[in-house]
Amino acid sequence: MSELVEGIKLLGGIAGLGTAAFTIYDRLVKSRPIVSLTASAHPYDDHGVPYLRLTNRSDREIVVTSIDVPPETTLQLHDDVMSIIERELGQRHARLIAPGETAFFEVTLDDEFRNGLIASSKVLEFTVHWHQASGSTWWSGLRLKASIRSDELGLVLKDAARRQIPAPNAVASPRML
Protein backbone atom coordinates (compact mmCIF):
# COMPACT_ATOMS: atom_id res chain seq x y z
CA MET A 1 0.00 0.00 0.00
CA SER A 2 2.85 2.41 0.79
CA GLU A 3 4.28 1.74 -2.69
CA LEU A 4 0.99 2.88 -4.20
CA VAL A 5 1.07 6.08 -2.15
CA GLU A 6 4.67 6.74 -3.21
CA GLY A 7 3.73 6.13 -6.86
CA ILE A 8 0.87 8.63 -6.58
CA LYS A 9 3.25 11.17 -4.99
CA LEU A 10 5.71 10.65 -7.86
CA LEU A 11 3.01 11.17 -10.49
CA GLY A 12 1.77 14.26 -8.64
CA GLY A 13 5.29 15.68 -8.53
CA ILE A 14 5.81 15.08 -12.26
CA ALA A 15 2.43 16.68 -13.04
CA GLY A 16 3.36 19.68 -10.87
CA LEU A 17 6.67 20.14 -12.69
CA GLY A 18 4.89 19.86 -16.05
CA THR A 19 2.36 22.49 -15.00
CA ALA A 20 5.13 24.82 -13.82
CA ALA A 21 7.04 24.39 -17.09
CA PHE A 22 3.93 25.12 -19.16
CA THR A 23 3.11 28.22 -17.06
CA ILE A 24 6.64 29.58 -17.52
CA TYR A 25 6.46 28.89 -21.27
CA ASP A 26 3.04 30.54 -21.49
CA ARG A 27 4.16 33.70 -19.66
CA LEU A 28 7.60 34.15 -21.21
CA VAL A 29 7.41 32.78 -24.74
CA LYS A 30 3.84 32.59 -25.97
CA SER A 31 3.08 36.31 -25.68
CA ARG A 32 6.35 37.54 -27.17
CA PRO A 33 6.14 39.51 -30.40
CA ILE A 34 7.30 37.93 -33.64
CA VAL A 35 9.95 39.68 -35.72
CA SER A 36 10.70 38.65 -39.29
CA LEU A 37 12.02 40.00 -42.58
CA THR A 38 9.74 40.24 -45.60
CA ALA A 39 9.78 42.00 -48.97
CA SER A 40 7.51 43.59 -51.55
CA ALA A 41 7.90 44.85 -55.09
CA HIS A 42 9.08 48.46 -55.47
CA PRO A 43 6.29 50.55 -57.02
CA TYR A 44 8.61 52.59 -59.30
CA ASP A 45 11.56 50.31 -59.94
CA ASP A 46 12.40 46.70 -60.77
CA HIS A 47 13.84 45.73 -57.38
CA GLY A 48 12.22 44.62 -54.14
CA VAL A 49 11.86 46.55 -50.90
CA PRO A 50 12.79 44.79 -47.63
CA TYR A 51 10.70 45.20 -44.48
CA LEU A 52 11.16 44.28 -40.85
CA ARG A 53 7.75 42.95 -39.73
CA LEU A 54 6.88 43.08 -36.01
CA THR A 55 3.67 41.37 -34.84
CA ASN A 56 2.37 41.79 -31.30
CA ARG A 57 0.77 38.44 -30.35
CA SER A 58 0.05 39.33 -26.73
CA ASP A 59 -3.12 40.74 -25.22
CA ARG A 60 -1.22 43.83 -23.97
CA GLU A 61 0.35 46.76 -25.77
CA ILE A 62 4.11 46.61 -26.25
CA VAL A 63 6.62 49.42 -26.52
CA VAL A 64 9.43 49.16 -29.08
CA THR A 65 12.14 51.32 -27.55
CA SER A 66 14.74 50.94 -30.31
CA ILE A 67 15.84 48.80 -33.24
CA ASP A 68 19.53 48.15 -33.88
CA VAL A 69 20.28 47.89 -37.60
CA PRO A 70 23.40 46.97 -39.60
CA PRO A 71 25.48 49.98 -40.76
CA GLU A 72 24.54 49.33 -44.41
CA THR A 73 20.87 49.98 -43.67
CA THR A 74 18.47 52.55 -42.27
CA LEU A 75 15.00 51.91 -40.93
CA GLN A 76 11.72 53.81 -40.96
CA LEU A 77 8.14 52.98 -40.11
CA HIS A 78 6.40 52.19 -43.41
CA ASP A 79 4.36 55.10 -44.83
CA ASP A 80 4.87 57.25 -41.72
CA VAL A 81 5.95 60.87 -42.29
CA MET A 82 7.17 61.30 -38.69
CA SER A 83 9.42 58.28 -39.10
CA ILE A 84 11.01 59.84 -42.20
CA ILE A 85 11.65 63.09 -40.31
CA GLU A 86 13.14 61.17 -37.36
CA ARG A 87 15.47 59.30 -39.71
CA GLU A 88 16.68 62.53 -41.33
CA LEU A 89 17.24 64.20 -37.95
CA GLY A 90 18.89 61.11 -36.46
CA GLN A 91 16.26 60.84 -33.70
CA ARG A 92 14.31 57.82 -32.53
CA HIS A 93 11.15 57.63 -30.46
CA ALA A 94 9.51 54.63 -28.87
CA ARG A 95 6.60 53.03 -30.74
CA LEU A 96 3.50 51.63 -29.11
CA ILE A 97 2.07 48.56 -30.85
CA ALA A 98 -1.45 47.46 -29.91
CA PRO A 99 -2.42 43.82 -29.25
CA GLY A 100 -2.74 41.87 -32.49
CA GLU A 101 -1.24 44.72 -34.54
CA THR A 102 1.57 44.31 -37.05
CA ALA A 103 4.06 47.10 -37.76
CA PHE A 104 6.19 47.21 -40.90
CA PHE A 105 9.53 49.02 -40.79
CA GLU A 106 10.94 49.73 -44.24
CA VAL A 107 14.62 48.83 -44.55
CA THR A 108 16.63 51.13 -46.83
CA LEU A 109 19.84 49.65 -48.22
CA ASP A 110 22.86 51.66 -49.33
CA ASP A 111 23.05 51.65 -53.15
CA GLU A 112 26.57 50.19 -53.20
CA PHE A 113 25.55 47.45 -50.76
CA ARG A 114 22.33 46.69 -52.71
CA ASN A 115 24.29 46.23 -55.93
CA GLY A 116 26.54 43.62 -54.30
CA LEU A 117 23.87 41.68 -52.38
CA ILE A 118 24.01 38.42 -54.34
CA ALA A 119 27.84 38.30 -54.42
CA SER A 120 28.18 38.90 -50.67
CA SER A 121 27.29 36.56 -47.83
CA LYS A 122 27.40 39.10 -44.99
CA VAL A 123 24.89 38.47 -42.20
CA LEU A 124 22.48 41.35 -41.57
CA GLU A 125 21.17 41.27 -38.01
CA PHE A 126 18.31 43.41 -36.69
CA THR A 127 17.71 43.62 -32.92
CA VAL A 128 14.38 44.91 -31.59
CA HIS A 129 14.38 46.21 -27.99
CA TRP A 130 10.91 46.05 -26.45
CA HIS A 131 8.87 45.68 -23.28
CA GLN A 132 5.21 45.46 -22.34
CA ALA A 133 3.52 48.83 -21.85
CA SER A 134 1.85 47.74 -18.61
CA GLY A 135 2.27 45.03 -16.04
CA SER A 136 5.42 43.66 -14.47
CA THR A 137 8.53 45.80 -14.58
CA TRP A 138 10.82 42.77 -14.91
CA TRP A 139 9.71 42.55 -18.57
CA SER A 140 11.79 45.61 -19.50
CA GLY A 141 14.91 45.25 -21.60
CA LEU A 142 13.80 42.32 -23.75
CA ARG A 143 15.27 41.74 -27.21
CA LEU A 144 14.25 39.96 -30.38
CA LYS A 145 16.59 39.26 -33.28
CA ALA A 146 16.07 38.65 -36.97
CA SER A 147 18.95 37.96 -39.30
CA ILE A 148 19.49 37.06 -42.94
CA ARG A 149 22.52 36.63 -45.18
CA SER A 150 22.82 39.34 -47.81
CA ASP A 151 22.83 36.86 -50.70
CA GLU A 152 19.57 35.35 -49.41
CA LEU A 153 18.08 38.85 -49.02
CA GLY A 154 19.03 39.58 -52.62
CA LEU A 155 17.15 36.46 -53.77
CA VAL A 156 14.10 37.36 -51.64
CA LEU A 157 14.04 40.89 -53.11
CA LYS A 158 14.32 39.56 -56.67
CA ASP A 159 11.49 37.11 -56.01
CA ALA A 160 9.27 39.84 -54.51
CA ALA A 161 9.86 42.04 -57.57
CA ARG A 162 9.27 39.14 -59.99
CA ARG A 163 6.00 38.12 -58.34
CA GLN A 164 4.90 41.76 -57.84
CA ILE A 165 4.16 41.29 -54.13
CA PRO A 166 2.27 44.40 -52.95
CA ALA A 167 3.63 46.65 -50.20
CA PRO A 168 2.22 46.09 -46.71
CA ASN A 169 -0.95 47.93 -45.83
CA ALA A 170 -0.10 50.76 -43.43
CA VAL A 171 -3.66 51.66 -42.41
CA ALA A 172 -3.13 51.26 -38.67
CA SER A 173 0.29 52.72 -37.92
CA PRO A 174 1.74 52.18 -34.46
CA ARG A 175 1.47 55.18 -32.20
CA MET A 176 4.50 57.28 -31.30
CA LEU A 177 5.28 57.90 -27.62
- pLDDT one-digit tens code per residue, 139-153: 567 888 898 988 888
Under 8 Å CB-to-CB from 83, ≥6 apart: which residues? 76, 77
Give domain limits for the chain.
1-30, 33-176
Instruction: Provide, rounded to the nearest whole percent, the portion of the chain with pLDDT above 90.
Output: 10
Q: Label residue 171 by pLDDT band (50, 70, 90).
A: very low
Residue 35 has pLDDT above 80, yes or no: yes
172 pLDDT band, cuts 50/70/90, is very low
pLDDT tens digits along 153-170:
888 888 888 888 888 865
Q: Tell me the per-residue pLDDT of 88-141, one tens digit each, with 9 for 90 and over.
A: 666 666 788 899 999 888 888 887 887 777 777 888 899 998 888 876 655 567
* pLDDT for position 88: 65
Query: What pLDDT score does 11 carry?
Result: 92
State the pLDDT confidence band at 17, using cuts at 50, 70 and 90: very high
86 or 94, which is more confident:
94
Helix (H), strand (E), coil (C) string for the chain: CHHHHHHHHHHHHHHHHHHHHHHHHHHHHHCCCEEEEEEEECCCCCCEEEEEEEECCCCCCEEEEEEECCCCEEEEECCCHHHHHHHHHCCCCCEEECCCCEEEEEEEECHHHHHCCCCCCCEEEEEEEEEECCCCHHHCCEEEEEEEEHHHHHHHHHHHHHHCCCCCCCCCCCEEC
Q: What is the rounded CA–CA span in Å between residue 99 and residue 141?
A: 19
pLDDT for 13? 92
Q: b or e along 103-142 (b: 16 or more beta carbons within 10 Å of the residue's beta carbon)?
A: bbbbbebeeebbeebeeeeeebebebbbbbeeeeeebeeb
User: Which CATH topology does 33-176 take?
Assistant: Immunoglobulin-like (2.60.40)
